[in-house]
Amino acid sequence: MDIGGGYHYFPGFLDRDAQRGLLALIRAVLASAPLYTPLMPGSGRPMSVRMSNCGPWGWVTDRERGYRYQRRHPETGEKWPPMPGAIAALWAELCAYPAMAESCLINYYGARARMGLHRDQDEEDFSAPILSISLGDEALFRMGGPARKDPTRSLRLVSGDLVLMTGAARSSYHGIDRIVPGSSALLEEGGRFNLTCRRVHGPDWQHEVPR
């Protein structure tokens, strides 16, 4: 569903079984690439969201080197686990883009976590959309425009909802005001996973053949 400004909303796209299946795949990723606490560039303040990644590239941040993509987990030093086929299949189905996603950022929000208004701008190529998948507790997603001063709207994202950011929304401000603790029973520990899938390089960028 086109909800304007380049935002596309797919409420309830994943049924309960699909959510459970995706959750099991994410847990398997986290068993080898555990959630870590990212630090803000400069200030070194910890973010409230914990993160990991799967796919060839992972988005990370720390005090000294700031926001970037890298191939390895910042704490274990291991390469990120491969992107599960079910996530790659959602990208292929919805993104109308001639190359695969290169990065799936896994965000975990505990009861008090939030994510301030920001744009995703560490990728080389903005022609690919961003695909966002919600699992677990509900979240209040704030959607703005390309300028920070643009008016914003709020959307309540429920477990199984998908959001696609294309066109203007690809470079628009967005964030998570808060989650609604206890609103979903999907995660036994409570909280919310968000999977943010992105293309990092242009469509012709070749990956080394995995061994």
Ligand X SMILES: O=C(O)CCC(=O)C(=O)O
Which residues of this protein are in contact with ligand X, per CB under 6 A? 105, 107, 115, 120, 132, 139, 141, 174, 176, 194, 196
Maximum Cα–Cα distance for the chain, whole Å?
Answer: 48
Minimum distance of Mn ion from residue 206's CB (angstroms): 26
Stretch that binds Mn ion, among 5-13, 31-39, 62-70, 115-123 (CB under 5 A): 115-123
Q: Residue 148: count other Cβ atoms within 10 Å of its Cβ.
A: 11
Pair of tokens at residue 92: 């292929």
Q: Which residue has the tokens 């796209």?
A: 13
Residue 109 · residue 139 · CB < 8 Å: yes
Report what 132 binds from ligand X, Mn ion, none; CB cut-off 5-8 Å by kind: ligand X
Length of the chain: 211
The Cα–Cα gap between 179 and 111 comes to 7
Q: By CB under 5 A, is residue 120 in contact with Mn ion?
A: yes
7/141 with CB nearer ligand X: 141
CB closer to ligand X, 98 vs 148 = 148
Least distance between ligand X and beta carbon 190 (Å):
16
Amino acid at 150: D
Judged by the rule CB under 5 A, the positions of this chain that interact with Mn ion are 120
